[in-house]
């Protein structure tokens, strides 16, 4: 009874492999491609400069809040109840301003995210189109990013098409 089942599965396996199409696979190294694109480096520099400028603004506001809190601590005993409450509100407002600046610039939908989207997305789209064109020309079925694949242990260098993608993008 077990023999016909084994024969059936063996036949099914042989039929499946006989009809399977060979798939051509190529790899790219996205970090290598990005590193060799001047427009990506320029976009990254712009983002870094913006980030530093915004961080300085946040640091200045934080310092101002610290100074306000320190001054309040030393003057607290000399202030009336109304003045204390007013100063405490001012400190809380300044701390809220700092949090709002952080959210505005570095939050999930902040200015840095929007600027990165505006600068980097067109470059990514251009790379994707170059990969797609190359895959169509060379009849490649699957293109994987080896820099993003931690499970990749070995890859033949002839499967790496990163330089060809760079050539399509006009990079040297």
Q: 3-state SS of the chain: helix, strand, coil percent to 5?
A: 75, 5, 15
pLDDT for 66 equals: 96
Question: For residue range 12-38, what is the model confidence (pLDDT) as tens digits?
Answer: 555 554 444 577 888 898 999 999 999
> CA–CA separation, 19 vs 151, rounded Å?
28
**Reported confidence tier of residue 160, pLDDT bands at 50, 70, 90:** confident
Given a cut of 60, whether residue 56 has pLDDT beyond it is yes
Cβ(140)–Cβ(161) under 8 Å?
Answer: yes
Least confident of 14-28, 32-46, 113-127, 138-152: 14-28
Count CB-CB contacts under 10 A for residue 161: 20
- Going from the C-alpha of 75 to that of each of 66, 67, 91, 94, 109, the distances in angstroms are 14, 12, 14, 18, 40
Residue 80: phi and psi, rounded to 5, are -75, 165
Domain definitions of the chain by residue range:
22-169
pLDDT for 159 equals: 76
> CA–CA separation, 172 vs 163, rounded Å?
9
- Between 53 and 138, the more confident residue is 53
Got the DSSP string for 84-125? HHHHHHHHHHHHHHHHHHHHHHHSTTSHHHHHHHHHHHHHHH
Minimal CA–CA distance to 120: which of 52, 24, 30? 30
Average pLDDT over residues 163-169: 87
141 is written with which tokens? 């079925």
- For the ranges 14-18, 103-107, 161-165, the maximum mean pLDDT occurs at 103-107
> CA–CA separation, 75 vs 80, rounded Å?
10
């Amino acid at each position: 009874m077990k023999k016909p089942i084994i024969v059936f599965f063996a036949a099914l396996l042989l039929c499946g492999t006989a009809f399977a199409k060979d798939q051509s696979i190529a790899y790219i190294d996205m970090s290598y491609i990005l590193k060799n694109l001047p427009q990506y480096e320029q976009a990254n520099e712009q983002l870094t400069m913006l980030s530093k400028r915004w961080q300085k603004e946040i640091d200045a506001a934080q310092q101002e809040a610290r100074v306000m809190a320190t001054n309040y601590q030393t003057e607290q005993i000399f202030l009336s109840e109304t003045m204390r409450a007013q100063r405490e509100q001012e400190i809380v407002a300044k701390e809220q301003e700092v949090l709002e600046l952080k959210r505005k610039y570095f939050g999930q939908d902040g200015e840095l995210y929007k600027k990165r989207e505006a600068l980097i997305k067109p470059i990514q789209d251009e790379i994707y189109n170059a990969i797609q064109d190359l895959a169509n020309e060379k009849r490649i079925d699957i293109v994987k990013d080896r820099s993003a694949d931690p499970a990749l242990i070995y890859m033949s260098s002839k499967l790496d098409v990163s330089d060809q993608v760079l050539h399509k993008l006009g990079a040297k």
